[in-house]
């Protein structure tokens, strides 16, 4: 059994609202934090650009966090593109499919990401993975649920004979509550920074700046984000 350093975290960081807040949570909690992202042929490279802006602005605004924030690793997940026929990687309409899942569901995607993140963590002697999965108000993706992740982490620990853990600080909280968490971690400054720099829109639109951030305002991800922001601002 290889014992890893549990004061080191590796954050699965996509540049979205949830993983940005999860990153801040990790920076508040651990002595050393690295990030990992995946380029898997997303329809829009916007996410990959905004994640760099988010890292740069976090470093600038929070010097104490900058001192802990280490390497960012971008992994080529192009194998997913060749497998996938879904809306996230191809120009298919975003709708609910017959199986009850949105067409943005990429089978195996998060399972695949977690294996790669686990392998990198092992090499870095990092004991904790941190991810922004949330099942409270968006349970469409079965690979983001706590039950799935718990089983997969058990498999990773067995398969690498190590004591790797996973923390998902947003798993059971709503989008409004996750904004409140951001406020607690870094005040209004962090809330404004995540709102400005994080990307959520499925269509990859960053033309219009709404009160809740950038996006098309019509896709399911934008609707959820707008609703969460409104609830947060209303204090509900």
Residues that bind Zn ion (CB under 5 A): 201, 203, 215-216, 219, 222
Q: Shortest approach of Zn ion to residue 121 CB, angstroms?
A: 32
Q: Shortest approach of Zn ion to residue 221 CB, angstroms?
A: 6
Strand partners, 69: 33
Q: Shortest approach of Zn ion to residue 83 CB, angstroms?
A: 24
Task: Compare residues 127 and 215 and give the one whose CB is closer to Zn ion.
Answer: 215
Strand partners, 170: none
Residue 4 DSSP code = P
Task: Compare residues 69 and 219 and give the one whose CB is closer to Zn ion.
Answer: 219
Spatial CB neighbours of 63, under 8 Å, sequence gap ≥ 6: none
Gyration radius (Cα) of the chain, Å: 17
Task: Compare residues 87 and 222 and give the one whose CB is closer to Zn ion.
Answer: 222
Q: What is the Cβ-side half-sphere exposure of residue 110, based on CA atoms within 13 angstroms?
A: 20
Rounded CA-CA distance 17/176 in Å is 11
Q: Shortest approach of Zn ion to residue 224 CB, angstroms?
A: 10
Q: Shortest approach of Zn ion to residue 200 CB, angstroms?
A: 7
The two structure tokens encoding residue 98:
């017959």
Task: Compare residues 4 and 201 and give the one whose CB is closer to Zn ion.
Answer: 201
Phi and psi torsions of 82, nearest 5°: -70, -20
Task: Compare residues 115 and 216 and give the one whose CB is closer to Zn ion.
Answer: 216
Phi and psi torsions of 21, nearest 5°: -70, -35
Count of CB atoms situated within 10 Å of the CB of 99: 6
């Amino acid at each position: 059994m290889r014992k890893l350093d549990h004061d080191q975290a590796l954050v699965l960081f996509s540049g979205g609202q949830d993983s940005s807040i999860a990153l801040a949570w990790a920076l508040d909690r651990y002595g050393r934090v690295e990030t990992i992202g995946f380029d898997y042929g997303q329809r829009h490279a916007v996410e990959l650009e905004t994640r760099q802006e988010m890292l740069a602005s976090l470093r600038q605004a929070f010097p104490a966090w900058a001192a802990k924030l280490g390497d960012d690793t971008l992994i080529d997940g192009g194998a997913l593109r060749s497998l996938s026929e879904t809306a996230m990687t191809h120009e298919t309409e975003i709708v609910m499919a017959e199986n009850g899942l949105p067409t943005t569901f990429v089978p195996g995607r998060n399972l695949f990401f977690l294996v790669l993140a686990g392998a990198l963590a092992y090499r870095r002697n990092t004991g904790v993975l941190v991810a922004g999965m949330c099942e409270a108000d968006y349970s469409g993706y079965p690979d983001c649920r706590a039950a799935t992740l718990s089983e997969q982490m058990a498999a990773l620990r067995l398969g690498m004979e190590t004591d790797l853990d996973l923390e998902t600080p947003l798993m059971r909280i709503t989008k409004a509550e996750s904004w409140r968490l951001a406020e607690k971690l870094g005040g209004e400054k962090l809330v404004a920074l995540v709102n400005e720099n994080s990307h959520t829109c499925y269509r990859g639109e960053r033309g219009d700046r709404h009160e809740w951030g950038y996006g098309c305002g019509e896709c399911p991800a934008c609707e959820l984000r707008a609703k969460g922001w409104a609830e947060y601002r209303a204090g509900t």
